[in-house]
Structure 1
């Protein structure tokens, strides 16, 4: 158990949901808040638990403030939430089975369920509160906690003969506990001192089959029974003794039954209904009356005088229904989906591909559309934005036309968008020389895309006879066999073009094929092809399982495998007959030399403005290494940072602003680094913050610099107080002198000179202590 101050939730005076520029060394949240799990209604606000965190809805002024792991929550994916009103304790459960108990300004983090030694899933599906007893419905059974002592009892394995049983929800009439489970309804005496004993629990003989939700209304129990064959549900009640069907509730698939003192409410795949004690319909809302997706996951009554209801939806956040009127839905700004398989960022645009492929490069049929953030706002999209293409796995900005973005669909070809996110065109086997893949008809697998120095777009077209294809600026298309080294039986994925316009193709578990076209695309007689493997003289890869490739600012090619990283320092030698083998970068740790990330599966590589390397891994988070890879600058994991997951799928650095976009298996997160892209000359040099006001303790960023410029900071009298070299096009000053002391209030001059001294610039920074 861990207790900390949690100031993010102290105030109920909420601010509008905005996404300001994050400070250097800080994290930014790019998660969706549209999939609601639970609601807690308070006099001044509604606490909305979504799959990716919380947001607070101010009832008076309709304000929104979001809270995530970045703000101090102990998890990312929320699975259940409830509030113990007598103590004002908000209880939050996450998919890692950690619990947060938020009371006033204290956050207590509880690990008991997470530490249970149980085989199988431990997801917490629901939280039921009975006086000071908290019951957690879990994938294995039930756990009880006392809110005052925070002591646990359990787990309760309530299935037949003490077996594990998935429990969806619980409730009580004060005499008995009721549990909705995957095989029916179970109950036990609420005062039984040994609920651990499965004999204390009785299965109802009538209600066989899955019961996903239940509610107690006016002393009567209602249960929702799923019919897995017809995909319809039936609500039963025992108000007259035996179980009877509630015919007033239509035969729709219901996500939840909810009840309070006035109404029993049904939440279905496209409607919400509230009924009074005579089961007369008191409030109703259906998808037909709305212009946004409306699958209801939960509901809570608001102000009875206004017939107000707050509804949680699966895709549209919080919905408010009052006096028969429908207000707009409410949720923080964010993408529509959490999945982030690739991400690209440039200027004020961020694009995210939510697709993916399986471990053997098989299709996942992920039909979620690409997501675009433009000028700080995520733009809603649907399947039409990519002409119904699925498994979007890679994205690239067009280097010649800034108003064009390209995407690779692993199944439906090459997609082109306009810069504003609108669909332009799609290319596949029906309208280009791209080929249909071997196997089931109708598929054009594009596994990766990249541009060369002439702006020509290269792509892999796997499981075909010509697996490498290029599109020129004039819309001419050429395809290549790669000398049979990538046969149609072999799936291929990413492609990378190096500084010499050589094309590197990632094979599945068979190394890399490098293609040299001699800049004569139509003449295939002068083409050269070389396969790289683990053998000396043939590439010396650390493994044939290649996962990532990147070319740095010096022209070296870095290759990530399932056994670390190797570097081709002289890729121009590949077809020269000279030694070109990759080298292992050696790093010193505790006076011992080891190979860079030799025990890590390196899934992605990004190069920032200072030529530093950002490595994403399959299980150990993100590493930032020095330009030569020998110095470990930063290492982020879920344990030492707000990082959402240690499984990293893509990284891109916005060269203009220094944000690092990290696509994890649990969503997209950003980190503000100190490096931006530099140039040969100074741009619009500025410092921020400026002025530096009292209380500021971060770094002062000086941007718009010539690459690797020398920076000198002096006081107004000319005394040198600080000196550094720019990281690409940006330099950082911590506001301290060489001695480590904070400089005094005053005006400071920043003198800048480029590498050869031909360019200079001067700015002023005001510091107020």
Structure 2
């Protein structure tokens, strides 16, 4: 009956709305190491990480997650509560948003508090949910709001401070017909009778004691509270009886069955209803972490931690722990990522926008391989700090080099850390500070391999910043930039990307010196850094070379393109160009004044552009058409601040790292092959249950028939068995973004099953005839369609 009522009232909701499920094309790659809150119900444990949820099934031990891909907001979670009566998980956020997650993972966003204009943004934080007789009393930094779980709508809001002012309420409980609220800001404990119909009147609330109280809970016929001074009390007839002083401030207090659970940073205390201590769980050397919250089911205790996910232990063996956590990277704030051949490498060490490595970051490395995360802790990294750019050897993909903006370059072979390259065993060098001989810092940033298997890498604050390293021979070389940067220590703060174009020119971006091009053949070096060269900023953050050997430049204040890379050194007046598009018939500069954080080029020469505040843009090869603009509001991106983008040419999956987590999008384009011998079509046969045919949006790669393994310049004809032409497409002509029925994106062709008359084809055998327009290689594939 409850679920019938629930369905009825959902249809009348206007302020709240169901979030979209993006699980078809998107995947989540969130970290679940740091847990904010845990709860239990429906034979599950619910755990909230920074901005995602995972569940642990107590009967099957299966782990599942609920993330932005399912419709969560991606904002910072503060508390959760599971309602057994209504089978709803409530999620509270720092910004005042509340989300209700139903059993089918559908998400209802409740935005009443978030969008309340009369409340300051800094008082909307959701601190606690207290469910009682179908109502949820929501503790916030402004007071208490009441939410009806049966009707899915808000009721009254209680401002209980002097004169009806806003006060911080940390937690509420119901005891002996009264509602008690533990308050901060010197407002002590507030109490009111639940039967009072006028609780919106602050005068109806009684103040008990003085000071600041952080928790309050009732267990059977007892009432307990904890003050900010770490002292626990029992309340008897509204008098406070001191019980205990904790060594650390309790962070979370829960009541499960007849147990009182109090969690501090280093301890979990479990009491019976008379406050008799039954169990004290502490951290140990093996699990050196901080606790955040805890719950229990039967004889098992589940503890949220700061670095292990959820730890499970028992009453019998409270020093033995099992780790419960979905697979994921070590941290949500990925700084640099590198995808390729189905793998993904992730680093978390960083430096500031002005290339300051302090304070140093001691983070590990995450590696996604075969759909499984392998995390390497910092203590296995030979002391390498501030890890950033990742370079994979194209001739030995098991060999990976990771730049450290403090200690050199870390070499990894077959997934194992092998060497830290520094000034003692390589061509790398530390900065030199006059009158400070003990200064040591090897600040490596952008690194990339060229076509011959030589790695090029940038060292900041030295006179010879560009280095080359040949892993096959072990040979290092250094190249001076003194012609344009006379004082390496002071004239350039740091370098961003380094890319190599088709002519062998190395391009990098500086903080003070704009775009820099260097070619060792002739020792040519030149920069473009001023408004006279049409550079909107001297701060260059991102670079990318496309298939036409054009250089795409991301700056602090916009996007530019250097079309003439081949003649750059001979051009008497080199200049970069903005991209001008028409918006409502008016010429506009593309991404004017946007902070461009990254640029990547996919197999079809389309451009993926990340920004500091506006999410991700996906442009056609010339930038004239915006295929997608992904933001936090219209996609699973947990933030509009983009740190890095990487594309796996194997399947066209685009990985996007934000400051609050990483997601990936299956774009479907792939890198062209050198030959057609491995070309294939799938699914084959196409059966009715595939439901692939007739769709017009070929950008949704889950629809349509795919032809993989195409070369760079092909013509593909599809005919029926009698030779009648059904569809045709050609590389660089028929592109998915242009609404064709049959299109080619890099090494992948996509056909929606429609013929030249725009009708879905009939059951039958179809021939796919592929012709390479450069090599004249051909291949014929057969496809069976059953409708």
The whole-number CA distance in structure 2 between the counterparts of 1:111 and 1:564 is: 34
1:27-38 matches, cutoff 5 A: 27-38=26-37
Which residue is 1:513 aligned to? 516
Which residue is 2:507 aligned to? 504
CA positional deviation for 1:345 = 0.5
User: Does the 8 A contact of 1:736 with 1:742 survive in 2?
Assistant: yes
The whole-number CA distance in structure 1 between the counterparts of 2:463 and 2:156 is: 60
Could you say if the C-alpha distance between residues 446 and 6 of structure 1 is closer, same or farther in structure 2, counting changes exceeding 3 Å? closer
2:309 maps to 1:313: no
Structure 2 length as normaliser, TM-score?
Answer: 0.85
Choose from 551, 556, 562 the match for 1:557: 551
The superposition leaves residues 266-324 of structure 1 with CA deviations (integer Å, 9 ceiling, x where unpaired) of 32334433222354443454333x85555432222323xxx233333333333443452
Which residue is 2:67 aligned to? 68
Could you say if the C-alpha distance between residues 355 and 110 of structure 1 is closer, same or farther in structure 2, counting changes exceeding 3 Å? same
1:475-624 matches, cutoff 5 A: 475-478=475-478, 480-483=480-483, 485=485, 487-489=488-490, 490-499=492-501, 500-508=503-511, 510-518=513-521, 527-536=523-532, 539-624=533-618
Choose from 721, 725, 729 the match for 1:716: 721
The superposition leaves residues 559-604 of structure 1 with CA deviations (integer Å, 9 ceiling, x where unpaired) of 0123321111112222214443112222233223222222422211
The whole-number CA distance in structure 1 between the counterparts of 2:360 and 2:130 is: 37
User: Does the 8 A contact of 1:437 with 1:445 survive in 2?
Assistant: no
Structure 1 length as normaliser, TM-score?
Answer: 0.87
CA positional deviation for 1:4 = 6.5
1:668-687 matches, cutoff 5 A: 668-687=662-681
User: Does the 8 A contact of 1:549 with 1:558 survive in 2?
Assistant: yes
User: Does the 8 A contact of 2:19 with 2:108 survive in 1?
Assistant: no
The whole-number CA distance in structure 1 between the counterparts of 2:138 and 2:345 is: 39
The superposition leaves residues 515-543 of structure 1 with CA deviations (integer Å, 9 ceiling, x where unpaired) of 3332xxxxxxx63432212333xx32132
The whole-number CA distance in structure 1 between the counterparts of 2:348 and 2:157 is: 37
CA positional deviation for 1:702 = 1.4
Could you say if the C-alpha distance between residues 85 and 495 of structure 1 is closer, same or farther in structure 2, counting changes exceeding 3 Å? closer
The superposition leaves residues 221-266 of structure 1 with CA deviations (integer Å, 9 ceiling, x where unpaired) of 4344456xxxxx543444597545544x752454322223321123
Three-state SS of the structure 1 residue aligned to 2:376 is coil
CA positional deviation for 1:618 = 1.7
Could you say if the C-alpha distance between residues 711 and 87 of structure 1 is closer, same or farther in structure 2, counting changes exceeding 3 Å? same
1:446-461 matches, cutoff 5 A: 446-461=444-459
The superposition leaves residues 418-462 of structure 1 with CA deviations (integer Å, 9 ceiling, x where unpaired) of 241x21222345655411365994433223223344433333332
CA positional deviation for 1:757 = 5.4
Backbone CA RMSD of aligned residues: 3.2
2:386 maps to 1:368: no
CA positional deviation for 1:163 = 6.0
CA positional deviation for 1:492 = 1.1
User: Does the 8 A contact of 1:68 with 1:76 survive in 2?
Assistant: no
CA positional deviation for 1:508 = 1.9
User: Does the 8 A contact of 1:494 with 1:505 survive in 2?
Assistant: yes
The whole-number CA distance in structure 2 between the counterparts of 1:69 and 1:167 is: 29
User: Does the 8 A contact of 2:677 with 2:779 survive in 1?
Assistant: no
2:764 maps to 1:746: yes
Could you say if the C-alpha distance between residues 202 and 700 of structure 1 is closer, same or farther in structure 2, counting changes exceeding 3 Å? farther
Q: How many residues align?
A: 733
Greater displacement, 728-737 / 211-220: 211-220
User: Does the 8 A contact of 2:167 with 2:187 survive in 1?
Assistant: no
Which residue is 2:261 aligned to? 265
Greater displacement, 627-636 / 127-136: 127-136
The runs of 5 or more residues in structure 2 that have no matched partner are 1-13, 693-702, 731-743
Choose from 443, 460, 463 the match for 2:461: 463
User: Does the 8 A contact of 1:186 with 1:201 survive in 2?
Assistant: no
The whole-number CA distance in structure 1 between the counterparts of 2:488 and 2:760 is: 64
User: Does the 8 A contact of 1:560 with 1:604 survive in 2?
Assistant: yes
Greater displacement, 180-189 / 703-712: 180-189
CA positional deviation for 1:107 = 4.6
The whole-number CA distance in structure 2 between the counterparts of 1:468 and 1:200 is: 72
1:291-302 matches, cutoff 5 A: 291-292=286-287, 295-302=290-297
Which residue is 2:114 aligned to? 114
Greater displacement, 366-375 / 681-690: 681-690
User: Does the 8 A contact of 2:173 with 2:216 survive in 1?
Assistant: yes
The whole-number CA distance in structure 2 between the counterparts of 1:80 and 1:437 is: 49
Three-state SS of the structure 1 residue aligned to 2:380 is helix
Three-state SS of the structure 2 residue aligned to 1:125 is strand
The whole-number CA distance in structure 2 between the counterparts of 1:648 and 1:758 is: 42
User: Does the 8 A contact of 1:214 with 1:258 survive in 2?
Assistant: no
User: Does the 8 A contact of 1:678 with 1:706 survive in 2?
Assistant: yes
The whole-number CA distance in structure 1 between the counterparts of 2:758 and 2:95 is: 41
CA positional deviation for 1:207 = 4.2
Three-state SS of the structure 2 residue aligned to 1:580 is coil
Could you say if the C-alpha distance between residues 116 and 6 of structure 1 is closer, same or farther in structure 2, counting changes exceeding 3 Å? closer
The superposition leaves residues 84-129 of structure 1 with CA deviations (integer Å, 9 ceiling, x where unpaired) of 4433333223445332234566753221111123434333232222
Which residue is 2:48 aligned to? 49
The runs of 5 or more residues in structure 1 that have no matched partner are 9-21, 228-232, 519-525
